[in-house]
Chains A and B, each alone.
Chain A
């Protein structure tokens, strides 16, 4: 299987990472070499194998639905590049 330039640009769009043509060509080469190597997994028949999603074989713990952090608005907004003291500010989304 090969990944063409069009696919690379599609993945970059899905990843929300803009790339120029030169970078896209380099990525096409890198991704193909990586995926050719990954293809090795197809040697294995895994039809009757259960997928391993987590190594910690415990069911997730439950806790009471309580508020544990209070008055942390300032802390949360502290690292935002733009805010108006109450909210994160982003470019206009709806007209």
Chain B
């Protein structure tokens, strides 16, 4: 039964529909492997007993019309799950049990999927290495002592280690695409407004998006089709006709115009990544696409803009954790003292740092100089993309400026950690869809990814291009199972 874990999501769905395997077979295989993979620290909460019970229930009365019939899935612990502890990787939520379900996870269960457990992440999704979690750092299956990226690091690691057939993450500045790139997996951030934010622990509300993380592009299209929906409970959810991403997936990209932004050729970028990017262009040309040089002149201002906008929104969103409503409280001499002690002991260092940056840029006398300035630069960044998309159908860039790094390597220098997201952040600021696909290996055999950026609501377009490239790249993820005891 070891091959079950090697099957893709789409293969599992097919085999379950043809009754070759049962939901119980799949679920028990993933549970067993997850249990022997504790060293990676991917799970914060395991719901294995319930998962097994639910898979038996499915097998007793199967519904093969569903898109994910009886498929077990572990999700990032940023999604509120009814009656299942939801921590967002934070001490301040260590006892929080939601009484409601996020729309995106509800879409999964409505499609027949079964919850396997909640996956580790950076605290409140603030981090690029999964080292800021209160529940400990996550290890990448790629190599011992290597970070899986972040903030959806538990999701990426569990996916690459085959502890779940697919998963969902969230992406505020690259939190799906960067860990996907580090672990040789596929990750897509949809257009802002595609997936509901209802029930996702909020970080920066104008940037947060849910998205699929999968082993290949086909799986990604299937999972996106399941989770993307219009939702009245999210005031910024957008009501547009969602295509059938999975059945519409095709490799016909002949004549597509792909832009190569010169500003993404950053100083100090390893030659391997440059090479990878060149290869990507060749693959696209071989598929009949046309390569066009473009300029996104404000790229270098994207990260500083992000580090004003995101902390500002976070400082407001995280004001709700005051020791009154969410389980964790440290008693104080009076109300204010209780707030200050609760938040001081409940939040980790990176979260405190960002709350303070946000508080400062929104404070009296600094609002115009920082927050308003950042919103104006954000407009310029969006204008760059608007102009580029007059000439091209999609944009090809590297996903990250380097491959995965060692645990502890960047924790002392916040700015160097933030630079990880240099190629992913502009996409969030402009609200565009972006996908990272595995594209090669570096000299240490660590995976490297390429990113495709699409026009608003053109997830199908970038999925099709990714699908064509995937065939040419023919990337194989090899892990030695070194972590299994």
A-side residues, CB < 8 A to B, are: 3, 7-8, 11-12, 14-19, 27, 30-31, 33-34, 37-44, 46, 49-56, 58, 60-61, 63, 72, 75-76, 78-82, 88, 90-93
Contact = CB atoms under 8 A, between A and B. Distances in A.
A44 B380 contact: yes
Nearest to A16: B339
B145 interface: no
Given A17-B343, A56-B238, A81 B327 contact: yes
Contact of A17 (B332, B347, B374, B415): B347
Interface of B: 95-97, 99-100, 192-193, 206, 232, 235-236, 238, 298, 300-301, 304-305, 307-308, 315, 319, 322-329, 331-341, 343-344, 347, 352-353, 355-357, 359-360, 363, 370, 372-380, 382, 414-415, 430-431
B236 A82 contact: no
Nearest to A14: B359
A81 B329 contact: yes
B328 A46 contact: no
Nearest to B358: A15
A46 B298 CA distance: 12
Given A38-B304, A79-B325, A53 B375 contact: yes
B205 to A, nearest CB: 9
Tell me whether chain B's interface is mostly helix, strand or loop, or mixed. helix
User: Taking chain A's interface residues, is the majority helix, strand, or loop, or is none over half, making it mixed?
Assistant: loop
Contacts of B341: 18
Contacts of B376: 46, 49-52
Given A18-B344, A37-B307, A54-B206, 6 more contacts: A11-B363, A40-B301, A43-B301, A44-B301, A52-B376, A88-B325
Contact of B329 (A31, A37, A82): A82
Contacts of B333: 91
Contacts of B353: 27, 30-31
Contacts of A56: 192-193, 236, 238, 431
A75 B334 contact: no
A12 B315 CA distance: 12
Contact of A38 (B192, B307, B326, B332): B307
A15 B236 contact: no
B336 A16 contact: yes
Contact of B327 (A19, A53, A79, A93): A79
Contacts of B96: 79
A40 B298 CA distance: 11
Contacts of A72: 99
Given A11-B360, A37-B415, A52 B378 contact: yes
A20 B352 CA distance: 13
A41 B373 contact: yes
Given A34-B414, A49-B376, A91-B335, A55 B430 contact: yes
